Amino acid sequence: MITKLLEINWVLVSFVIIVIIILLMFRKYEKKKSDTKEIALIGTMAAIAGVSRIPFAVVMSVQPTTFIVMITGYVFGSQTGFIVGALSALVSNFFLGQGPWTPWQMLCWGMCGLAAGKLGKNKKELNIILFAGISAFAGYFFGWTMNIWHWLGFVYPLTLKTFLATYAASFPFDTLHAVGNIAFSIIFGKSFFLILLRFKKRLVKSS
């Protein structure tokens, strides 16, 4: 009976857990003291990351958003990375259509930003090869996490067989996402890093 109940409500349970995680992260940021420049900067980066989704909306899996979120996290730290990632998903979905997938995307991109922030801690320079490698992994991670939602939401029954089938089906798309991330990192990585670093210095100096 209990297992049956859980099976029925997995979509709801996962939805609630993810929303709570996101809200806790937001709350942590809310408590922190931050100046207006940082707020405006986060808003701008979230908008840029969100806008970059729109021309690529047709090619589902190639998403510059992941790269932009990650480079922001790399320069400005984990917390900023998470907020930019989560909000870019939320904001862009106001234009592309909200759905039960929104919290999942918020979490995925938030985690990408958070991981990049951990990678970039105490680093003065951008190691393109390392960054591209991590961003490629992030592409796969994004797909794998979104697969859980696909599997819970669209695939019945929830068995190991269908789970593996879902992952196998998404593999080409995840690979495209990863390759796209590597390409964006190599092409835009250096210039984005320098620009963001310059604004970070200004941010630190002014506050």
Q: Which parts of this chain interact with another protein (CB under 8 A)?
A: 8-9, 11-12, 26-27, 29-30, 34-44, 46-48, 50-51, 83, 87-88, 90-91, 94-95, 97-100, 153-157, 159, 161-162, 187-188, 191-192, 195-196, 199, 202
To the nearest whole angstrom, how small is the minimum distance from the Cβ of residue 205 to another protein?
12
**Amino acid present at 50:** G
To the nearest whole angstrom, how small is the minimum distance from the Cβ of residue 142 to another protein?
21
Task: Report d(CA 130, CA 59) in Å as an integer.
Answer: 26
To the nearest whole angstrom, how small is the minimum distance from the Cβ of residue 106 to another protein?
11
Structural contact between residues 112 and 141, judged by C-beta atoms closer than 8 angstroms:
yes
Q: Which is nearer to another protein, 108 or 141 (CB)?
A: 108
Q: Which is nearer to another protein, 27 or 121 (CB)?
A: 27
To the nearest whole angstrom, how small is the minimum distance from the Cβ of residue 20 to another protein?
14
What is the token pair recorded at 147?
A: 């697969």
**Sign (positive/negative) of CA torsion 18, 20, 24, 27?**
positive
Q: Which is nearer to another protein, 5 or 124 (CB)?
A: 5
Q: Which is nearer to another protein, 46 or 136 (CB)?
A: 46
Residue with tokens 């963001």: 196
- Residue 201 CA, chain-centre distance (Å), reads 25
101 CB-near residues (< 8 Å, 6+ apart): 146, 149
Structural contact between residues 71 and 79, judged by C-beta atoms closer than 8 angstroms:
no
